[in-house]
Amino acid sequence: MGKVKKKRGNTFNYNVNRKKLKRKARKKHAPRIPCEQIRNAWNDGKSVAKNLAEMGLAADPNKVLPVRPGKVNDEAEQAKVIKKPYVLEGLQALASLPSKQTMGVSSDMILYVRHMVDNYGEDYKAMARDEKNYYQDTPKQIQRKVNLYKRHHPQEYQALIESRIMQ
């Protein structure tokens, strides 16, 4: 007869540092930084606070701008030393660009607001009773629409108001 094969069970490997493996796995699956300027300047070997301090950004705003006057933190002084100023410059340039996601005013709403302002000026209660108020907007809703029109077309709104005064 043949010999019976012994199955060897899983044995624990004492030579592997499980804590280090877990840290590596966590770092590997860390979330991706969406901001390109910060992502390019990021150093994985440093902590979040040190990375941000080098870029001139704050990890904790309460430590940079203390609530109690007169209390000065060491980290606030360290944050003043900016090693990577190009990150701040890039973020400021990005913030100064006009936003692409601005909500526009539809052509129907432009006609609606022009009619209302031309006929009633700034009397929103009278606008709410107008027959062109098909959607039965309340005076507050009409006021919001007029303010939106004011923000997007300030010159046209001024011209409407001035033509109303002339009449």
The CA-CA-CA angle for residues 143, 149, 154, to 5°, reads: 120
25 or 75: which carries more pLDDT confidence? 25
Q: Which pLDDT tens digit goes with each residue over 39-58?
A: 999 988 888 889 998 998 88
pLDDT (0 to 100) of residue 101: 58
pLDDT band at 142 (very low <50, low <70, confident <90, very high): very high
pTM of the predicted protein model: 0.43
83 Cβ contact partners less than 8 Å away, ≥ 6 residues apart: 54
Q: In the chain, what are the domain boundaries?
A: 20-96, 107-166
Q: Which pLDDT tens digit goes with each residue over 1-12?
A: 677 777 778 888
33 or 69: which carries more pLDDT confidence? 33
Range 17-41 average pLDDT: 88
Element (H, E) at 50: helix 48-55
